[in-house]
Chain A
């Protein structure tokens, strides 16, 4: 069996564990770790302020990361806002755009596939403004389809907030068609790309989305850094979400002025080390290429699914998932019992509701297991995982589950 050419770049793999939990958070390559360490060790200084050498280099790295992100997404630099993560990005849109622009009777389209961070902010906005939440009916596989989307889209629709890739089912939403239809009704589209950005090429200009959010830590970058892409004309009409240092142009006792551009939304000292690390994560992904990454994951996923399907007592919920996410249960065994067994074998997968209770309700389950594959996983990892599941099935059967 061929050796994985990327695993050597991920030092955490040296601990001997089989890491199949990238959908929760990815491992970090050496280049990212080194960039974060470089800032903490050699450069600690604030941005946009100091005149000394370290401060200048830090500001350069901080702002050049914005250019890297912008190129990665085919956006303008001024449309890239740093946040704490996808959750912060989506809350920023809900507060700074949603609360200000929605009124009673307006409609917000969401789905049962949403992560809580793409659902709860809009449930909150609906409650505050009197707007109504509309759910796209999922098809029999649990997918969002253009046909079902059309049925909930109307002249009342003001916001469409949907996941690009479901963190439980791994399905890719037909986002381009949905956005194009939404714009015919003058609705704005907020895309949760937390599980998409590490799998598929995203061109926000071609996609024409109004907002798009993702986190650094699910795409080989550090925790604590997220991105919000927003169309410039929308960012310009939005008030700041947080107030404080560095986001203002002029402060007076009676009236103050805000910076224009993304800095308006970046109050206080940002997670500078994580921003700098994100640049290296994007470079790492670009060096391999997203098409190579997705082809590899697809092969490995099919290899895993073919074997998992053969195991009696295993129920797979998303056999057609296209992004390395496999969601399943050992029938009769609660998911938390199952992962305790796998954890003893040093196999890292996730159990629970995955911050997406609505899709668990839709599936009619209390919780489930999720294995998620990424570029550093090998065929051997999959073999160990499959063997672990087989052993778990036998173990719990013997116990009387």
Chain B
């Protein structure tokens, strides 16, 4: 079977506008969560989030392009540009013909929708910007990346709420494995921190108003983030033949559905996803030193995810490091799995395991080594990255060091 490696990575999120800055924040256990700065924030009950601060579109795109780009697509393009630059690839000829992009997102151009609805409903206008549709499409960011990098193979968007990125990455892996594409750009992008995007979430009563404390006894819920993570995935022999630097191998992927509840997670669904990712990668539980958890800091997710990890890893749970970097970059919804993959790459390449920040006290219902507050040096040769979405749609990636 063809093997799939990562040869480029890019990101924009609350911790930084590139991979180096993001990893530095993760090493320091620094959280990007703070007061939300957005229109009508005074009418929100939940007023914190992990925002990308100081983002200036004009520093990255010219006027004509900005008119076509929602914030989520801007993040996606910036991350993709970094990833392609690192990979050192130029897409032309047969490579361009067959390479593509599969991106995860949940809200797509939600800020464009929010702004446009405000104009017509709140301000009584009878006209919106002519490019509302090309900006808000859930496929817009993938299309913009394809245009920017001349990717003419399979390109589309995957949407499975909080597992969108991992589902997208799993699709890209499968396409390279089958030989459909030699190189795929993949990951996710989300920009949901607008009045409507936060208002919708606060209605569910699962959001924290102080900070995100995954697996902590005093955890009080989710905190939203935003951003993008994009990776260049490449068939291993293709990468080796051109002497590319390989960041890590995506050795296994698995996708399961709970077929249970639209918001409540199921332990069994999470177990099945983790176990199948291990099997797909040819890994035993004992090979894995680190799990980047879904770890949303809701009461339900963290309890159930902990139980699922305990079942899958059994006696190997002792000595297993499990952290949730959502404590730092927030829950970036459709982009979160991609941003969290950076913590996996850091563990595999640099031997640094990102911590669970904001941790105060252990919860007996989450009996795991959650790497509280301080990053840890450790030799990690394989790790898992979990994503368990509303709707019970789970996608787990298994990574191996090279």
Q: Do A and B come from one complex?
A: no
List A residues at the B interface (Cβ < 8 Å): none
Q: Chain B: residues with CB nearer than 8 A to chain A? A: none
